[in-house]
A and B are shown apart, each in its own frame.
Chain A
Amino acid sequence: MLTFLVRRLMLAVPVLLGVVFVVMLTVELIPGDAVALMLGEHATPEAVAKLRDYLGLDKPMLVRYVEYVGRVARGDLGRSIQQNRPVLDELADVWPATLELTVAALLIAAVVGVLAGLVSAVWPTSLFDAVARIGSLFGLSMPVFWTGLVLIVVFAFWLSWLPVGGAGTPAHLVLPAVTLALPSVAMVARMTRSSVLDVLREDYVRTARAKGVAERLVVSKHALRNAAIPILTLLGLQAGQLMGGAVLTETVFAWPGLGRLIVKAIFARDYVLVQGAVLVFAVAFVLINLAVDLAYGVLDPRVSRQG
């Protein structure tokens, strides 16, 4: 298990270095003079020269990359050009809100998705299965930002049950979390249904049933445990979907998180802040996938034995 852990950690390092490279590359791609674009047309030549020097744009790209990696490793993501504050401080202010939103959405996706998929698989020709399958197709096809607006119209304007936007109380979390979770609920339900159906066709399930094991135990002990790996993989991937979706949900509900910060920073042409925020999202995603990989080792001993 330890070898497996070390191996997985080692594999994440080049990916993280690559992520830093791509994030750095985004500023390189800016057409024209990036610094002039960041500071606007009325910036003084001194200010432009100072920022150019600060960003190290006169140095060769490889040198800048090595320096950037060094700074990122020390936790220095640069200073926000608009706010004139360290990017890390800016991100520290908003990441708890995004974490709260994505964790809530992931929990909804896991609980509702797995339950719906399980019921569909156990009664595959039932009315519930038909409704769940059609519902999951719609869930996958709905644009998150539109779902959010429809929920606002229904639950905030027409029924006045929940607030339109903002954060602070559990009531504020309901609409954004449900909006963000819906596509993932659909995805998890589909995956759970197909994985459990697969397992229920296996010989060992037939044997368990032949031995007279109660159906409840067959489903919970055999089917769900063995179907857990693909479901877990999907939940790991969904964490990434949710982080991306958070950009849209936070914009719709004025949720004060990382996603909304990125959009604001892009419009303010604060590329240092955009870089920092995208980097934090990507690193979080890599670490979540690493955690999912490690969880495989616990759920299925064959995985860790293979290393």
Chain B
Amino acid sequence: MAISAAAALHAAAAPLVDTGRLSAWGEFRRNRLAVAGLAIVALLLIAALGAPWLAPFDPAKQSLIEKRAKPGGKFLLGADEFGRDILSRVIYGSRVALIVSVLSVAVALSLGLTLGCLAGFLGGWTDVLVMRATEVLLAFPYLLLAIAVVSALGPGVFNTTLAVGIWGAPTVIRVVRGAVLVARETEYVSAARALGATALRVLTRHVLRNVLPTVIVYSTLFMANAILVEAALSFLGLGVQPPTPSWGLMVSTGRDLLLVAPHVATIPGLAILVAVLGFNLLGDGLRDALDPRLRGRI
């Protein structure tokens, strides 16, 4: 009886969900900036996946007689201090940016979803402990926590990813816990519990499903910040190490040539700007489409 009642509830709910998805997609498509963001992110993905085929040169190949070559001619975006093709390095740099941001989102989400659900669902001392720990992590100014983690663990792609992920986790914990607390008091969760659903089923099927739009929007906007933080750490020499082509690192090495060859530092910076802009536009568009209350207001 309980199963059939639950099935009926789900059957009734299904068309509503689908209609909601359709209207959200329609709303998203009407937003030109959001579509532009999606196009930039798609381009970034294509560049990262197809780097070996798209890059005109080997990103590590040096040509000292062509060092600091200006944009145009053989090198479309010029060459760096070792005569390496900047365009190829920018294309390969998209891999580092995407790997670090995707994995750090995964770190932030797994920490955030687990701890946020535990805090919101269990309450009591678990909640107090998790939330106080979150407050402590949020007390570190932007970048400082990531710098502290990387300074302790050492530079490199893995540690940078971990540092950026830990930096992003507290906000996810807060968002998820808040959503769990709200969902816990709703009638449909009470109904599911009354129908005999286990805590895990209620959490995954009803609570997390409701948190999903918020988490998707946050993850997209976090990707933008993750790219910025990775680039910042690499710029400081604390993130990705040479000769791996990272945009932040490229800006950092080009800094010494600012007077004679400004393109060496400025072009990789433009790549960061475009990638971050893409994720910001996409995140804004998703938020407007998934949360109609905020549409066109921010």
Interface, chain A (partner B; CB < 8 A): 14-16, 18-19, 21-23, 26-31, 137-138, 140-146, 149-150, 152-153, 157, 190-191, 193-194, 197-198, 239-241, 243-245, 247-248, 251-252, 262-263, 266-267, 271, 274, 278, 281-282, 285-286, 289
**The 9 residue pairs across chains A and B that have the minimum distance between CB atoms:** A18-B136, A146-B269, A244-B143, A244-B142, A240-B141, A29-B152, A141-B276, A141-B277, A243-B141
Measured CB to CB, the closest approach of chain B to A161, in angstroms, equals 16
B10 at the interface (CB under 8 A from A): no
Question: Could you tell me the distance between the alpha carbons of A77 and B86 in the complex, rounded to whole angstroms?
Answer: 45
> Do B251 and A149 touch (CB < 8 A)?
yes
A248-B232, A251-B236 given as contacts; is B251 within 8 A of A146 (CB)?
yes
Measured CB to CB, the closest approach of chain A to B40, in angstroms, equals 10
Tell me the nearest residue of chain B to A247, going by C-beta: B143
In the complex, per-residue mask of B256-274: 1 if CB is within 8 Å of any chain A CB, else 0: 0011001001100100110
A-B contact count (CB 8 A): 152
Q: Which of B141, B144, B231 contacts A143 (CB 8 A)?
A: B231
Q: Which of B132, B154, B236 contacts A31 (CB 8 A)?
A: B154
Measured CB to CB, the closest approach of chain B to A193, in angstroms, equals 8
Chain A residue numbers with a CB within 8 Å of B251 are 143, 145-146, 149
Taking A29-B152, A152-B258, A157-B262 as known contacts, 8 extra A-B pairs with beta carbons closer than 8 A to each other, sorted by chain A number, are A14-B132, A18-B135, A21-B136, A141-B276, A142-B276, A143-B251, A143-B276, A145-B269
Chain A residue numbers with a CB within 8 Å of B117 are none
Q: Which of B137, B152, B280 contacts A30 (CB 8 A)?
A: B152
* A to B CB contacts below 8 Å, 17 in the list: A15-B135, A15-B139, A19-B136, A26-B148, A26-B149, A29-B153, A137-B277, A137-B281, A141-B276, A145-B248, A145-B251, A244-B142, A247-B147, A262-B147, A285-B141, A286-B139, A289-B139
> Do A267 and B237 touch (CB < 8 A)?
yes
Measured CB to CB, the closest approach of chain A to B35, in angstroms, equals 14
Chain B residue numbers with a CB within 8 Å of A157 are 258-259, 262
Question: Could you tell me the distance between the alpha carbons of A116 and B147 in the complex, rounded to whole angstroms?
Answer: 33
Q: Which of A31, A145, A191, A197 contacts B235 (CB 8 A)?
A: A145
Question: Could you tell me the distance between the alpha carbons of A294 and B132 in the complex, rounded to whole angstroms?
Answer: 20
A26-B148, A143-B273, A262-B147 given as contacts; is B139 within 8 A of A150 (CB)?
no
Most-contacted residue by chain B among A26, A146, A197, A285 (CB, 10 A)? A146
Measured CB to CB, the closest approach of chain B to A291, in angstroms, equals 14
A22-B137, A29-B149, A137-B280 given as contacts; is B237 within 8 A of A143 (CB)?
no
Q: Which of B136, B151, B154, B269 contacts A149 (CB 8 A)?
A: B269
List B118-161 residues whose CB lies under 8 Å from chain A. 132-133, 135-137, 139-145, 147-149, 151-154
> Do A153 and B262 touch (CB < 8 A)?
yes
Chain A residue numbers with a CB within 8 Å of B228 are 143
> Do B269 and A26 touch (CB < 8 A)?
no
> Do A149 and B265 touch (CB < 8 A)?
yes
Chain B residue numbers with a CB within 8 Å of A144 are 232
> Do A197 and B297 touch (CB < 8 A)?
yes
In the complex, per-residue mask of B227-243: 1 if CB is within 8 Å of any chain A CB, else 0: 01001100111100000
Tell me the nearest residue of chain B to A29, going by C-beta: B152
Question: Could you tell me the distance between the alpha carbons of A157 and B265 in the complex, rounded to whole angstroms?
Answer: 15
Measured CB to CB, the closest approach of chain A to B204, in angstroms, equals 31
Chain B residue numbers with a CB within 8 Å of A137 are 33, 277, 280-281, 284
Chain B interface size range = 35 or more
Measured CB to CB, the closest approach of chain A to B290, in angstroms, equals 17
> Do B149 and A146 touch (CB < 8 A)?
no
B224 at the interface (CB under 8 A from A): yes
Chain A residue numbers with a CB within 8 Å of B236 are 247-248, 251, 263
Chain B residue numbers with a CB within 8 Å of A282 are 139-141, 144
Tell me the nearest residue of chain A to B231, going by C-beta: A143
A15-B136, A149-B265 given as contacts; is B258 within 8 A of A274 (CB)?
no
Measured CB to CB, the closest approach of chain A to B265, in angstroms, equals 5
Q: Which of A138, A145, A146, A149 contacts B277 (CB 8 A)?
A: A138
Question: Could you tell me the distance between the alpha carbons of A141 and B265 in the complex, rounded to whole angstroms?
Answer: 17
Chain A residue numbers with a CB within 8 Å of B248 are 143, 145
Question: Could you tell me the distance between the alpha carbons of A247 and B145 in the complex, rounded to whole angstroms?
Answer: 12
Measured CB to CB, the closest approach of chain A to B166, in angstroms, equals 10
Chain B residue numbers with a CB within 8 Å of A289 are 139
Q: Which of A18, A31, A153 contacts B266 (CB 8 A)?
A: A153
> Do A141 and B132 touch (CB < 8 A)?
no
Question: Could you tell me the distance between the alpha carbons of A262 and B147 in the complex, rounded to whole angstroms?
Answer: 9
Chain A residue numbers with a CB within 8 Å of B141 are 239-241, 243-244, 281-282, 285
A15-B139, A149-B251, A245-B143 given as contacts; is B259 within 8 A of A138 (CB)?
no
> Do B273 and A141 touch (CB < 8 A)?
yes
Chain B residue numbers with a CB within 8 Å of A28 are 152
> Do B139 and A19 touch (CB < 8 A)?
yes
> Do B147 and A138 touch (CB < 8 A)?
no
> Do B232 and A22 touch (CB < 8 A)?
no
Tell me the nearest residue of chain A to B238, going by C-beta: A266
> Do B232 and A194 touch (CB < 8 A)?
no
B12 at the interface (CB under 8 A from A): no
Measured CB to CB, the closest approach of chain A to B282, in angstroms, equals 12
Chain A residue numbers with a CB within 8 Å of B231 are 143, 145
B1 at the interface (CB under 8 A from A): no
Q: Which of B140, B143, B281 contacts A19 (CB 8 A)?
A: B140
Measured CB to CB, the closest approach of chain A to B16, in angstroms, equals 28
> Do B147 and A285 touch (CB < 8 A)?
no
